[in-house]
Amino acid sequence: MTSEYGCNVCNEEYSVQDPLKCPRVLTGCGHTICHSCAMIIAGRNISIFCPFDRTSTNIPGGDLNNLKKNFALLELLEKIADTGGISEIGEGVQKHDRYAKDRLLNVKCDEDSEHVAVFYCTVCDSNLCDRCSEFTHSTNVLSKHRRVPLTEKPVPKVHCRLHSSYVVEFVCKEVSCDNESPLMCLMCRDYGRHKGHCHVLIEKEVDDLREKLREHLGELTRQSEIVERALNSINSTIHELTPGIDDGSLEETKQEIRNHFYRLHSNLDQDETHALETLDRYARNRIENLQAQKDRLEVVSTKIGSTCITLQKALVLEKDNILDRKDDLLALAESTNAEPTEVPDRSQLRTRIAFSFSNDRKLHIGDFIEARVVLLGLDGSGKTSIVRRLKKVRIDAVMAPHPTSGFNIETIHYKNYRLNVWDVGGLPKLRNLWKHYYSNAQAIFYVIDGHAVERFNEAIKELNKVMSDPLLISCPVIVAINRKGGASSLNGHMDVLMSQLEALPFQHELHFCDAAQGSGIDQILDQITVCLSRLNGTCPV
């Protein structure tokens, strides 16, 4: 038996002194065998076939002594003999273990379960440690048994479950086959349950399956990398947005805001506090959204990792085991591959926080969204009074009504919107011109005088006429009934008006307000911004 450096044919150790154990190189393939085995294999021929790959090597002059010696191996054997089989590594001394890889398999010795096997006897079909191998195979007969390292143990052949003397060679590919196992031997194929079925060689089926698993593994690995990069980006963004991080973008923005308010003198301290609270609230909302995406991606990453481990383990299974689990493995791979791995886009991971200030020194995160709101209604309905309330302009209670001639434009900042309100006159001679003002409107604000009972039908007629224009098919409509006391002073005439509004063939939002007292005005602004946000797919700050 070979100890560390020996012939893999006779399993005897090479020797520098014994000519029969001299290592000879088969120049046709490069393998090395001992002189004794070369004599037996060659016989009286002028060439020798390699016992490992059947490559032919010519014997120079027909004399095996002319075959080249493996001088590198001989030199190594001499050094090992000189140093007593010990090699120095650095400052310490370490024994060379040729079977370290075999020990890592941690297979128990069949003779002594407390020992770790390193050899496999191909004749006895047993796993043996080095000591038990020497002891049990010391006789003349057993010493001739071929023993190989466990890492070179030949793959066992799979035998048919029904015909145990036959080896499984094929896999059934018949769609209508309802047999328990697709594996078949020659008997199954020609005479048994798979007779006449389509089939392929088991090696081809296993190779195809392994190739599919490798493809899934590669795809899942790429997805894992994408998810990993996304998680890193999310962590970086959360770090940038987390309060208290000195080098974070949130703190940089806070400092910019502090500098801005510092220049506005001490009377702006309260506004500064409110602004910072708004920014923190914005940051917390973003962090919550990003954290939710992070948690979802971590779940996907964990599932991908688990699937990859399962597929990697499947790649080294025996043929019958991997084919038995074929459907489960492919289903697992495909289901994991189908997991959504949507990653945040750049806008969600942008750490630079855009902000702006309105005329009343209120902080708005992001740029103002421009919106064109057209204010329509009959003359004297209170449109201009409502605009003045929106602008926070004081209204004289005894101010005489003054109909608008043409139009007025007022800009109102509310939440994260810059509303350009077009107050268009409602005189009969101007109503035919309304279409020139609302053609590019993002919202229609229509005012009805709640006290002018005699003009209710006229107001409804003009509103219906405006909204029948195809240009306004998707434009939100807010109807405000301007009435002293608001919704608390409804009567029978108002019930009729409400019925007429409900019968309109388009959707609209209805509000009550009192322009004279200013009640209900902020609710109208809230409704306008909500409608605009739905239209733009955004949310007001």
- State how beta strands 170-172 and 443-449 pair: unpaired
168 close to 185: Cβ distance less than 8 angstroms: yes
- Whether residue 404 contacts residue 471, with contact meaning beta carbons closer than 8 Å, is answered with no
Q: How many CB atoms lie within 10 A of CB 299?
A: 12
pLDDT in tens, the chain (541 residues): 445 578 888 888 888 888 888 999 888 888 899 998 988 888 888 888 888 888 888 888 888 888 888 888 888 888 777 655 444 444 444 455 677 777 878 889 999 888 999 999 988 889 999 889 888 888 888 888 888 888 888 777 788 888 888 888 899 998 888 888 889 999 888 888 888 899 999 888 888 998 999 899 889 989 999 999 999 999 988 888 888 877 778 888 888 888 877 776 666 677 778 888 888 888 898 889 889 888 888 888 999 999 999 989 888 888 888 888 888 889 988 888 888 778 887 767 877 676 666 667 677 777 678 889 999 999 988 888 888 888 876 655 434 456 777 788 898 887 778 889 999 998 988 888 888 888 888 999 999 998 888 999 999 999 999 888 888 888 899 999 988 765 555 567 888 888 888 888 888 889 898 888 888 888 888 888 888 878 776 544 4
The model's pTM is 0.38
Domains in the chain: boundaries? 6-80, 106-152, 252-346, 355-539
If DSSP codes are grouped into helix, strand and coil, which group holds residue 383?
Answer: helix
CB 412 within 8 A of CB 421: yes
Determine if residue 382 is labeled as part of a ligand binding site. yes
Report the CATH number of the 6-80 domain: 3.30.40.10
379 is in an annotated binding site: yes
Angle formed at CA 534 by CA 528 and CA 535, multiple of 5 degrees: 90
Is 83 annotated in some ligand binding site?
no
Backbone torsions φ then ψ of 358, nearest 5 degrees: -85, 175
CA end-to-end span of the chain: 83
Q: Is 404 annotated as a binding residue?
A: yes
Per DSSP, helices labelled H in 242-325 are 249-262, 269-315, 319-324
Q: Is 253 annotated as a binding residue?
A: no
CB 324: neighbour CB atoms within 10 A?
A: 15
- Is 377 labeled as ligand-binding? yes
**11, two tokens:** 């399993």
Q: Two tokens at 308? A: 């990859």
Residue 11, helix vs strand vs coil: coil
> Mind spelling out the 3-state secondary structure of 304-347?
HHHHHHHHHHHHCCCHHHHHHCHHHHHHHHHHHHCCCCCCCCHH
All residues at 6 or more sequence positions from 492 whose CB lies less than 8 Å from its CB, including other chains: none
Q: Are 355 and 279 in contact, with CB atoms under 8 Å apart?
A: yes
Q: Is 537 annotated as a binding residue?
A: no
* 106-152 classified as CATH 1.20.120: no
Confirm whether residue 122 is marked as ligand binding: no
The torsion of the CA quartet 413, 419, 422, 426, rounded to 10 degrees, works out to -90
- CATH fold of the domain at 355-539: Rossmann fold (3.40.50)
